[in-house]
Amino acid sequence: MNKLKIGWIGLGNMGTPMVKNLVKAGFEVMVYNRNQEKTKALQETIAIRVAGSPADLVTETDVIVTMLSDDTAVKEVFLGENGILSIKPVKDITAVDMSTVSPETTLQLAATCKEHGFSYLDAPVSGSVKPAEEAQLIIMVGGEEEVYQKVKPVFDALGKSSVYLGENGKANVAKLAINLFLGITVQGLAEAVVFAEKNGLAATTLLPLINAGAVGSGMTKMKTENIINNDFKAAFALKLLAKDIRLAGANGLNTPIGLSLSNTLDAAVQKGLGEDDMIAVLKYISEN
């Protein structure tokens, strides 16, 4: 069976390595990105075709994947001028949004896609840049199961597993819940380090104890080196985590820790830490 032809929109920290993995797996990929310099740079390293607009992907591909920063950006490439939905498909084509957006955005786009003759899956991922580079993402999928099965070979090239969760929007809920727990873990780790250092115990001493015990996790181990080396280069930008927690708030999050986390992240962004990695919340807490 011939492989699906893939259209891809979004060449950020996640999108670029994901496209590379699709090409490595043998898929023909056509890319659209607003920043043409990123597209040209990628075209010099791997064999991709370049689209002039999102609409161009509709006639040239079987599956169009979006991997963008937020709800506004996703809606723009679907609904804007020369967007995906500005052209009626002449064949079976599936739109797959792998961004972290609200369930409401997904339901709106899924319904609009159906009206225009497209299938639609929400498929956000668990994992940051390194898992994206190593095709070790966990992919959560909402939509029609038959459509998921058709697109599954694409997910297989991008992650270590994909999980079908049911109707559109369910994958978004799962992603927001995971990122809520992620944020709580990161803020808890930061607060523990700040508390220890204020009482004369260095992070270099505390962190190995955390990682060796019951409270240690993949995340605490992953961020240990960043904390010790004072390295806040973004694997997952603090501003994006803050955005995700705000989305959770818009969908009913009102628990004590969740509200505290949202306030802390928003304040850290206001302090200019949004472009840093999420563990830079430690800098905000230590200074306030």
175 is catalytic: yes
Catalytic residue among 3, 75, 130, 175: 175
Type of residue found at 108: Q
Structure tokens that stand for 267 in this block: 């304040």
Nearest CA to 165 among 138, 133, 135? 138
Instruction: Say whether 164 sits in a helix, a strand or coil.
Output: strand
Q: How many residues does the chain have?
A: 288
168 to 19, 122, 173, 201, 266: CA distances (angstroms): 24, 6, 10, 48, 29
Structural tokens at position 193: 């380090």
**Residue 269 contacts residue 238 (beta carbons within 8 Å):** yes
Name the token pair of 90: 């002449």
**How far apart are alpha carbons 81 and 137 in whole angstroms?**
32
DSSP for 6-47 reads EEEE--STTHHHHHHHHHHTT-EEEEE-S-HHHHHHHHTTS-
φ, ψ (nearest 5 deg) of residue 47 = -85, 100
Nearest CA to 151 out of 123, 117, 110 is that of 123
The DSSP bridge partners found for residue 162 are 139
Catalytic residue list: 175
